[in-house]
Structure 1
Amino acid sequence: MKLTPATEKFILHWGEMGWRWGINRAVAQVHALLMLSPKPIPADEIAETLNVARSNVSTSIKELQGWGLIRVVHIFGDRREHFETLKDVWEMFLIIMRERKKRELDPTLAALRECEASVASKDENAAYTLQRLKELTEFLELAASWADKGQALSPTAAKRLFQAGDKVFRLIG
């Protein structure tokens, strides 16, 4: 697959953003390539296009499949597996939100609750520590609640919610 300057720029940028969000750069670049590809691509072509090792592509594909962001497609007459990403960016957003909640928010909430329960009352800073932990827990519980509600939305409803955001911000002030 031949990359245009625009696709190359996007793939590099998506890889950089993925790295900043804690995602392996190669994983993000494979995802970016699949997002911009009009047809499913086999792993060897992904490796060649991105100029990365085939093993790196395999690892990236497994991670993206684990997130539910790509799927295998079989092409008639070709024994290789081809891969494509979800076409609906809102569906992709909801999946990423679900996975980040599961991998980041839920364990953090569990750790905060554990920390709250273990604050020693004889510690001179116990009241302050407990108050801060409770504030963090309350904030993350609210964020997790919003994430749960967001995950229940269809991609169309999620888009409508975001489009209504300006009205909500004006209403709240």
Structure 2
Amino acid sequence: MTEIRDINDSPAQSQFILYWGDMGSQWGVNRSVAQIQALLYLSAAPLNAEQISERLGIARSNVSNSLKELVGWKLIRRVPIPGDRREHFEAECDVWEIATRVAQGRKEREIDPAMRVLSDCVAAAELEADPDPIALARMKEMQEFLNVVDTWYDQMLAVPKSKLKTLMKMGNKVISLLSITGKKSE
């Protein structure tokens, strides 16, 4: 387990960074990547790789690879510091933007490939001389579900952040609204 070296970190910050790393690993994200993102998220100033390595007790090579991954996810960015040739990094700090970028990355890495494979499977099953009707129906049901998720995701990206916040805060009041408008839940 990473041991956070106490350099200006409060116990609460250290706990947050450790928890974020643990949570990230449960979601399939490398623990170091998640901890670096958490450290930069909490940091008031941009940090360079050496500072990150020292603060988190992570090997410099691991920090470099993790920073590349976080830049790829657009969760952190390079920030020039006048008079310092080293690369410094800061995190995206808008939690809604973070959530959007993570959702987009996961969709591209998980949902989109699943949709392509499922489409190929359905097409191949439909060409079989005697397809298993139950298996074909279930694959089509999964395909329909993923298409709905994909469409919903695209629609949610178009919703202004303020409206999306309001919608999410409404919670199950949305269901009540649908009942009032005559829409029946399934």
- Aligned with 2:32 (options 9, 26, 43): 26
**Any residues of structure 2 matched to 1:96-135 within 5 Å, and which?**
96-119=102-125, 120-123=128-131, 126-135=132-141
| Equivalent position amino acid for 1:69 in 2 | L
Kept after mapping to 2: 8 A contact 1:94/1:155: no
- Tell me the TM-score normalised to structure 1 length: 0.92
- Over the matched positions of the two proteins, sequence identity in percent amounts to 47
Per-residue deviation, 1:166: 3.9
Per-residue deviation, 1:172: 4.5
> What's 2:87 paired with?
81
Kept after mapping to 2: 8 A contact 1:10/1:32: yes
Higher relative contact order (CA closer than 8 Å, sequence separation 6+): 1
- Aligned with 1:56 (options 50, 62, 66): 62
Structure index of larger Rg: 2
Per-residue deviation, 1:157: 3.4
> Is there any run of 5+ residues in structure 1 with no aligned partner, and where?
none
Provide closer, same or farther for how the CA distance between residues 39 and 106 of structure 1 changes in structure 2, counting only shifts above 3 A: same
Between the aligned partners of 1:122 and 1:166, the Cα distance in structure 2 is 44
| Equivalent position amino acid for 1:31 in 2 | Q
Q: What secondary structure is seen at the aligned counterpart in 2 of 1:79?
A: strand
**C-alpha deviations, 1:114-168, integer Å up to 9, x for none?**
1111123425xx1010011011111111111111112223433332331233421
- Tell me the TM-score normalised to structure 2 length: 0.86
Q: Which moved more, 1:114-123 or 1:60-69?
A: 114-123
